[in-house]
Amino acid sequence: MTVVGWWRQAVTTRRMVLWLWAAVALAQSPAGQQGRQFYLGHCAHCHGPDGEGGRGINLTTGQYRLSRTDDDLLRVIQTGVPGTEMPPSRLPVADIRLLVTWVRSLGAAGALEKATGDAAAGALVYRNTGCARCHSIQVNGGQAKGGSLGPPLDSIGLRRSLKFLRDALVTPDAYIAREYVGTTAQTKAGQLFRGLRLNEDDYSLQLRDADERLHSFRKSSLAEYQRLDSSLMPSYGKLSPTDLNNLIAYLSSLRAANK
């Protein structure tokens, strides 16, 4: 490394440490503790008591898809994220500011979390294992490539912790987002269908299968239909530990923001 390169790195590291220190100090102040109480009351059931994620995203990366500044965070918490499970909050602005402080401190806690695997090798595992059959990834504003049975993975590294990613690969049944619940349908003629449940009312059921085909049924024509408790995604627990680590490093590197 050149002297200039070394110096830059040293300055960046120092800034990071100072920032972490400031965030931790804030979190320990009375205002920080109050923010924590609000967080535990209003947010933890989705984002986890330590911000590790669940129904809500991981808040410990310190980076957010839609927010950069504290004002952005304030706005997102006030309005929620339309079309997702993130709800608007009716708390007074002053309380939301305390929440922002607490969210920042959660971010500081995990900002240095780093995958041990090799992301480039993981990209190959991703390709060779057929993940793109069900997931799309959009690179550098280009065309998103891949299927849509599972969620797009462009910003998965921002949304999910390393532990969550591992769990998602090894035990996909453990957590299934509401939009990705599967369903099976068997017609009276004996044909069996399996896919994402798109719509259901008293009379009809629509699903999309792994080949992206839409199927619409009148319930009266079905012998049986059932919402699945298990994920449409198979478990990848049988990958070698190296492949699994590399794959997790690759997923963690996917951090597209603002989309």
Find tokens 């990958």 and name the residue. 239
Binding-site member from 217, 236, 245, 256 for ligand HEC (CB under 6 A): 236
Instruction: Identify which of residues 110 and 151 has a Cβ nearer to ligand HEC in the complex.
Output: 151
Task: State the binding string over 43-72 for ligand HEC (x if CB under 6 A, else -).
Answer: x--xx-------xxx-x----xxxx-----
Is position 170 an interface residue for ligand HEC (rule: CB under 6 A)? no
* C-beta neighbour count of 160 within 10 angstroms: 23
Cβ atoms of residues 113 and 160 within 8 Å? no
Maximum pairwise Cα distance, the chain? 75
Is position 207 an interface residue for ligand HEC (rule: CB under 6 A)? no
Report residue 46 as tokens.
């989705």
Cβ atoms of residues 205 and 217 within 8 Å? yes
Is position 87 an interface residue for ligand HEC (rule: CB under 6 A)? yes
Binding-site member from 23, 27, 73, 123 for ligand HEC (CB under 6 A): 73
**CA–centroid distance for 42 within its chain:** 19
Coarse DSSP helix, strand, coil percentages of the chain, rounded to the nearest 5 percent: 45, 15, 40
Bridge partners, 136 (sequence order): 146
Binding-site member from 135, 197, 245, 256 for ligand HEC (CB under 6 A): 135
Binding-site member from 20, 111, 121, 151 for ligand HEC (CB under 6 A): 151
Binding-site member from 131, 137, 205, 207 for ligand HEC (CB under 6 A): 131
Q: Under rule CB under 6 A, how many of the chain's residues touch ligand HEC?
A: 51
- Using CA atoms, how far residue 49 sits from 1, 4, 54, in Å, is 41, 42, 10
Report residue 58 as tokens.
């991981």
Binding interface with ligand HEC (CB under 6 A): 42-43, 46-47, 55-57, 59, 64-67, 73, 76-77, 81, 84-87, 89, 99, 103, 126, 129-131, 133-135, 149-151, 156, 159-160, 165, 168-169, 172, 175-177, 180, 210, 231-233, 236, 247, 251
